[in-house]
Structure formats: C-alpha cells, structure tokens
C-alpha cells in the first residue's frame, strides 16, 4: 500500500490545501540526496494527506540539482541559488516558499529518520504547540555513532547557549524541526543569520515572541560524510550568539518583518 501511495504522490499533482511541506537544504549532496528523498517520500506518502517536498539547493557545484530533476517527482519543488549563501539561507528560502499547514526542516543527511515526524506532528496537532524541535539531549532520545570530539564540542556549545540565550531548549542544532505555517513565515521572515547557527536565532525569536515550543526526543545517527568543520563552526557559533544579543539590544527584533 505504501508503494501505491508513493506512486500516486509521484505522478499526481497535489492541488489545494497541503497538510505538510518538507524542506531539505542541500549543498553538494549528490551522494545522499536521492536516498534521503526516497526515504522521506516513502514514509510521508503513506500518511494519507496531501504534501509537498522542497529541495532548497544552496549553489551546489556537483550533480545534486541534476539528480533531483531526474527523479521526475511532480510534487517536488527545486529551489536553486546562483551561489552558496549558507544553510540558514537555504532553509529560509524553503520555509518561505512552503505551502503546507505544517512545515518541516529536515537535514539532507537523514540523520534523524523521517519516521520521527509522527512525534513532532502530534505535538502541533494534538497539543497546540507552534514549534516542535527534534532533540538528542532530552530523555528518550537516542544517539548513535557520535564521535568523541563532536560529543564534547556539542556539549560545550549547549552550555554556552544555555548561559548566553536561555532558550529553554537543550538541543538547538538538531536538523529536524516542525513549525506551523504561520510560525514558519513569521520567524524565517525575520531571520538575519544565514550560516550554520541560524537555528539559534529562530528559537530566540520564537521565545521572544511567545510561541509555544516543544522539545521532542528523537533517534539520531551521525551520518558519514558530514561537511561541518566543528571548530570553525564553533567560532561562528559564538559570533552569532553575540550578533543575536546585539540585535535584541538594538531593538532589531522588535521591528523585524514578521513580528506577531
């Protein structure tokens, strides 16, 4: 039945109101993008509601764009960028283009299995949250194959975020987050950080503007082939925390586009 659902989604345009948009930011993901799309399409198509998949390419120089086009999925939209603008830039473009009632940001490496979507959807549908954050740092979460250096680095950054921003979220960087369409458009419409730590700004704005945010335990596997330079991104992470505090002090977020 799941395969029949997938074939129907593959060939039949989804018109009218969509229940879900899945946004995948991609930069030089030729080795992983097709399996990730296959896993997502197989699971979500079987859930029984209309949905779309958006691949927000970030100026890839490999075969990522060509491979996505060749799939021939009528409900997949490919957003291309002329140049690499950063992961945050790609996610923002995807979220602002999304038409679904709910909007999921999902990393291209499929580290968090798409099956975890069901937990996040329940938080928004049944409990009235505006944002559900997949988390590797709360009770019930599962992590596999995470290296010692990455473990130490992420633990240190989590402590810094807690002290500097006090977001009430232990894991801000897991690439698996679900928003209502209204929250996604307002939050990403006000985003100013285009790099790796854009999630910090989104969650800071969500708390500042009174959105209800749930942190949901998920399974996560450290996928091989990560393009993240941990030490370099840690420096940018600290710089972006300072940027957020300065923007808030200057009142930039109080007058930003998309403020509730």
Query: Do 215 and 254 form a contact (C-beta atoms < 8 A)?
Result: no
CA dist 114 and 41 (Å) reads: 9
CA dist 250 and 252 (Å) reads: 6
- Looking at 106, 171, 199, 240, which residue is catalytic? 199
Nearest alpha-carbon partner for 33 in 235, 182, 223, 216: 223
CA dist 202 and 52 (Å) reads: 23
Q: Residue 246: how many CB atoms within 10 A of its CB?
A: 10
CA dist 73 and 12 (Å) reads: 9
- Side by side, which strands form the sheet with 131-135? 76-79, 51-57, 18-26, 100-106, 176-180, 131-135, 213-217
109 is catalytic: no
**Helix, strand, coil percentages for the chain (3-state, nearest 5):** 45, 20, 35
Report, as residue numbers or ranges, the catalytic residues.
199
């Amino acid at each position: 039945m799941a395969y029949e659902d997938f074939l129907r989604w593959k060939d039949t345009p989804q018109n009218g109101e969509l229940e879900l948009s899945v946004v995948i930011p991609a930069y030089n993901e030729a080795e992983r993008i097709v399996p990730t799309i296959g896993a997502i399409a197989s699971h979500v198509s079987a859930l029984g509601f209309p949905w779309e998949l958006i691949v927000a390419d970030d100026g890839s120089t490999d075969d990522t764009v060509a491979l996505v086009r060749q799939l021939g999925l009528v409900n997949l939209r490919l957003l291309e960028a002329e140049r690499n603008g950063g992961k945050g830039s790609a996610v923002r473009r995807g979220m602002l283009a999304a038409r679904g009632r709910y909007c999921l940001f999902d990393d291209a490496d499929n580290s968090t299995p798409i099956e975890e979507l069901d937990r996040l959807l329940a938080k928004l549908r049944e409990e009235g949250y505006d944002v559900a954050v997949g988390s590797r740092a709360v009770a019930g979460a599962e992590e596999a194959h995470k290296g010692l250096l990455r473990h130490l680095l992420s633990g240190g950054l989590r402590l810094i975020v807690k002290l500097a921003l006090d977001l009430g979220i232990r894991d801000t960087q897991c690439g698996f987050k679900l928003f209502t369409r209204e929250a996604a458009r307002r939050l990403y419409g006000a985003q100013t950080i285009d790099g790796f730590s854009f999630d910090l700004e989104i969650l800071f704005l969500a708390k500042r503007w009174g959105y209800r945010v749930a942190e949901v335990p998920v399974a996560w596997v450290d996928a091989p082939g990560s393009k993240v330079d941990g030490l370099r991104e840690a420096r940018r992470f600290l710089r972006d925390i300072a940027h957020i505090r300065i923007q808030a002090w200057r009142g930039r977020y109080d007058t930003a586009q998309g403020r509730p």
